[in-house]
Amino acid sequence: MPEADFVSEAVLEQTRCVDVSLSWACNARCRFCSQDPARRPHPGLAERDAARHIWAAWRDGYRRLGFSGGEPTVDPGLERLVALGRRAGFRSIRLQSNGLKLADADYAGLLVDRGLTTVRLSVHGAPSDHDALVGVLGAAALQRRAARVLRSLGCRLGVNMVLTRPALAGLEAGVAEWLREGGVTSFTLIYPRFEGAMAAEAAALAPSFSELAGPLERVMRLLEAEGLEPPLLLHFTPCLLPGYESRMLGWHRFDARVVEPDGRVSDLDESVAASKEFPERCAACAYRARCPGVDRAYLARFGAGEFAPRAARAPSRVRGPSVDPGRRLLTENELCVLRLLSGGALGTEAFLRRAERTPLCQDCRGGQSVTDAAERLVRMGRVRRTFRKGRYEWSAVPD
């Protein structure tokens, strides 16, 4: 298997995720929402049922816990469920959120105090596009405040963007703004599903993959110029961006359990596979064995013309973060390393042990991510590694 593809079974085991969708209720009105607005009044998961699913997932070997919806922060029991997740054993607890309520420092602080470690904010294009797309005036400003609050609380932060046609013109500007002013370096770009509200809006809002090519290329170049990795991509196929397949979610199995607000439980890999198919021409493609396939609804709307079989796998175009000492923006793992070292120098063993325990570093477990990030910081002059009394010692270089 080529190196860029390699994720060991051990890492996949340690990153198994359970996503608990608490309800379909939401405090925004996104035009592209993949949930059916008619479900919003549904009462959602009872707290005791959510708790039961969280305990069961831990017992079944899931090691990351996510809350989504709807909007999970509108659930009055969220704080207690985060605390329960922590008690069950989860050290990585993530929210998928529009960020509106997280601008409240007291509320965000309470969630972090209970065990929240990571927030993925749903952001859509440039700030002016965002407010219109989510149907809430001032939403972009609140998100920015939420990002500052969450950063100050030591929370890991990332941005998810749904690629709608109105957001495309401002995509590069939106990413640039989050990079430079929000200090966010982790982006996931999502091709929308034609479900829920988006099913009715697809004609107006859904771009074809060909329309996406230019804006995506500009985002790739922007991140590369900053010395950062390309964004993660959801609902893409390798033939659309050959060489970037290792950044495509679904390239490796998701290994995720999804609990719906009505209590249904599904395996994400199975439900994704059920919604996809392969155009006939894919039979000849070098990617066929690993490709996640194309959404049936996409094929019905745009046809199969854009999916061109490849005779051979493309060389990887993905480069890791640069070690240029002038790089301004640090990745989440690099920030995590500096946080670990903020209390003083650590020997390698203590350093890795602390990385295992701290909620900031759960992405790093089982892999080489902590030491990789630390090595990069050494080469950038941000961390010092000295050999003393038969062991390496790591310390942060003061600014």
Nearer to ligand SF4, 134 or 272 (CB): 272
**250 contributes a contact to ligand SF4 by CB under 6 A:** no
Among 83, 278, 348, 392, binds ligand SF4 (CB under 6 A): 278
User: What's the chain look like in SS3?
Assistant: CCHHHCCCHHHHHHCCEEEEECCCCCCCCCCCCCCCHHHCCCCCCCHHHHHHHHHHHHHCCCCEEEEECCCHHHCCCHHHHHHHHHHHCCCEEEEEECCCHHHCHHHHHHHHHHCCCEEEEECCCCHHHHHHHHCCCCHHHHHHHHHHHHHHCCCEEEEEEECCHHHHCCHHHHHHHHHHCCCCCCEEEECCCCCHHHHHHHHHHCCCHHHHHHHHHHHHHHHHHCCCCCCEEECCCHHHCCCCHHHEECCCCCCEEEECCCCCEEEHHHHHHHHEECCHHHHHCCCCCCCCCEEHHHHHHHCCCCCCCCCCCCCCCCCCCCCCCCCCCCCHHHHHHHHHCCCCCEEHHHHHHHHHHCHHHHHHCCCCHHHHHHHHHHHHCCEEEEEECCEEEEEECCC
Is residue 93 a contact partner of residue 86, using CB atoms and an 8 Å limit? yes
Smallest separation (angstroms) from ligand SF4 to the CB of 250: 11
Question: Candidates 24-32, 237-245, 261-269, 311-319 — which segment interacts with ligand SF4 by CB under 6 A?
Answer: 237-245
Smallest separation (angstroms) from ligand SF4 to the CB of 213: 14
Nearer to ligand SF4, 121 or 294 (CB): 294
Is residue 17 a contact partner of residue 249, using CB atoms and an 8 Å limit? no
Smallest separation (angstroms) from ligand SF4 to the CB of 294: 5
**256 contributes a contact to ligand SF4 by CB under 6 A:** no
**285 contributes a contact to ligand SF4 by CB under 6 A:** yes
Question: Candidates 50-58, 60-68, 235-243, 340-348 — which segment interacts with ligand SF4 by CB under 6 A?
Answer: 235-243
Smallest separation (angstroms) from ligand SF4 to the CB of 189: 18
**237 contributes a contact to ligand SF4 by CB under 6 A:** yes
Q: What is the greatest pairwise CA distance in the chain?
A: 67
- The two tokens of residue 91 are 């050290």
Among 121, 161, 234, 239, binds ligand SF4 (CB under 6 A): 239
What is the rounded distance in angstroms from the CA atom of residue 43 to the CA atom of residue 25? 8
Among 72, 127, 192, 238, binds ligand SF4 (CB under 6 A): 238
Nearer to ligand SF4, 243 or 309 (CB): 309
What is the rounded distance in angstroms from the CA atom of residue 298 to the CA atom of residue 23? 27
**272 contributes a contact to ligand SF4 by CB under 6 A:** no
Smallest separation (angstroms) from ligand SF4 to the CB of 231: 19
Nearer to ligand SF4, 225 or 289 (CB): 289
Q: In DSSP terms, which residues pair with 383 in a beta bridge?
A: 396
Among 294, 346, 370, 396, binds ligand SF4 (CB under 6 A): 294
**248 contributes a contact to ligand SF4 by CB under 6 A:** no
Is residue 171 a contact partner of residue 207, using CB atoms and an 8 Å limit? no
**246 contributes a contact to ligand SF4 by CB under 6 A:** no
Nearer to ligand SF4, 244 or 287 (CB): 287
Nearer to ligand SF4, 24 or 191 (CB): 191
**133 contributes a contact to ligand SF4 by CB under 6 A:** no
CA-nearest of 244, 237, 241, 340 to 290 is 237
**209 contributes a contact to ligand SF4 by CB under 6 A:** no
Nearer to ligand SF4, 90 or 287 (CB): 287
Q: List the x/- string, 156-175, binding to ligand SF4 by CB under 6 A.
A: --------------------
Smallest separation (angstroms) from ligand SF4 to the CB of 143: 34
**208 contributes a contact to ligand SF4 by CB under 6 A:** no
What part of residues 305-334 is at the interface with ligand SF4 (CB under 6 A)?
307-309
Smallest separation (angstroms) from ligand SF4 to the CB of 274: 17
Q: Which residues bind ligand SF4 (CB under 6 A)?
A: 237-239, 278, 282, 285, 287-288, 291, 294, 307-309
